[in-house]
Homo-oligomer: A and B are copies of this chain.
C-alpha cells in the first residue's frame, strides 16, 4: 500500500513526523547567528547523548565517513592497530586502516560470535614496547546482531596506556549504554540514520583529550575529514564546510525528543524490545545468530531453520504487510534476516512486526503453537 512502509531495518530507522517537518523547513544560511544557535544547542544535546564533555563533531557524511575520520586523524603511517573483526563493519575498519598504510592486525571471530576480550588483553599485555597505537572495536556489529564486550576490551586498552580506544558505536549509541567519559573512550563514531532517528547524511565523532594529543603528530593525509578543522570551527558554533543544514535542524528536533524520554528509558526500551524480539523468534522455532549473552540491542539476526527461506520471509512481510526487514550481508545473504528495533520504535511496533511474522510463517506452512511469538513478546513488553 502506498506510503504504508514500516521500517524494521537497522537504518534508515523510522523518523517521527515532527522530525520530518523540521527537516522540511526552508533552509537558512549556515553563516548566521540563527544557525549557530541551533548548532550550539545540537552539540550540547549530542554531548548529553554521548555522556561526555569531550568534543562531539558533526560531519556531513555517513557513519563510515565519521569512523574513517575517527581513525585517520589520530594515527600516522605505519602505526600498529588492532582491529576487532566479527562482521561486515569490523572488516571495513580493517580495510580503512590498510588503505592508509597502517600495520593492521585483525582479531577475528565468526559472524554471530562476539570478539574475545581475552585475545585483546593478551595482545595488549604482550606489547611491552607500546607499539600498539589504537584498538578499533565495533560495539554493536550490525551485520550479525552481536554486541561486543566493549567494557572489558576497553579495560585492557586502559591498562596498556598508550593505545587509543576507537569505537564504532553506529548501532549502539542511543540504544545501549556507551558512557564515553566514564569508560574513557577516545574516539566514538555514529551515524544519523540509526538511534538518532533522522534520515542518513550526518556522521558524528566524539574525541577525547588524549586523542587530540595524538592528533598533533598524526600524519595521515586528510582535508574534508580533518577533525581539527571541525573542532576549531565548533568552538565558534560553526563548521568548516557547508553543513547539511536541514538535517541538523531535524536532528535538533529528534534529540529534544530523546531528552524528553531520558537516557535510562531509552536504553531500557531497546533492551526490552530486544528481549521481546528474541523470545518471540525462539517461540516461533526460529534460530538466532547471536547468543543471549551478547545480543545487540538494535538488531536481531534470525536464522530460519531448514524448510524456511529467509528471503521468502522478507518478501512476504514486505508484500503482505508493508514491513521491511533486512537480509543477510555477504556470506550470510539468503541465510538470515535481520529485524531492527532501533531508534523511534515503540513497543507496539515490535508487537506488530512479530504478529505479522507469525502470519507470514503460517502462510509459508511453518508450524508453531498459535500465538506463540506474540505471547512471548508480550511477556517481555509487559514485564
Contact flags A230-256 to B (C-beta < 8 A → 1, else 0): 000000000001111111000000000
Q: Indicate whether A242 sits within 8 Å of B191 (C-beta atoms), given known contacts A68-B224, A99-B222.
A: yes
Q: Indicate whether A23 sits within 8 Å of B246 (C-beta atoms), given known contacts A220-B221, A224-B225.
A: yes
Partner of A5, one of B26, B62, B64, B226: B26
Contact assessment for B12 and A224 in the assembled complex, using a CB-CB cutoff below 8 Å:
no
Contact assessment for B26 and A24 in the assembled complex, using a CB-CB cutoff below 8 Å:
no
Q: How far is the CA of A9 from the CA of B28 in the complex (A)?
A: 10
From 1 to 57 in chain A, residues with beta carbon under 8 angstroms from any chain B beta carbon are 3, 5, 7, 9, 11-12, 14-15, 20-21, 23-32
From 307 to 347 in chain A, residues with beta carbon under 8 angstroms from any chain B beta carbon are 324, 326-327
A65 at the interface (CB under 8 A from B): yes
From 58 to 83 in chain A, residues with beta carbon under 8 angstroms from any chain B beta carbon are 60-65, 68, 72
Nearest residue, chain B, Cβ from A14 = B26
- Count A interface residues, CB 8 Å: 55
Q: How far is the CA of A97 from the CA of B14 in the complex (A)?
A: 40
Nearest residue, chain B, Cβ from A92 = B223
Q: How far is the CA of A84 from the CA of B63 in the complex (A)?
A: 33
From 78 to 99 in chain A, residues with beta carbon under 8 angstroms from any chain B beta carbon are 95-96, 99
Q: How far is the CA of A223 from the CA of B72 in the complex (A)?
A: 11
**Chain B residues, CB < 8 A from A31:** 326-327
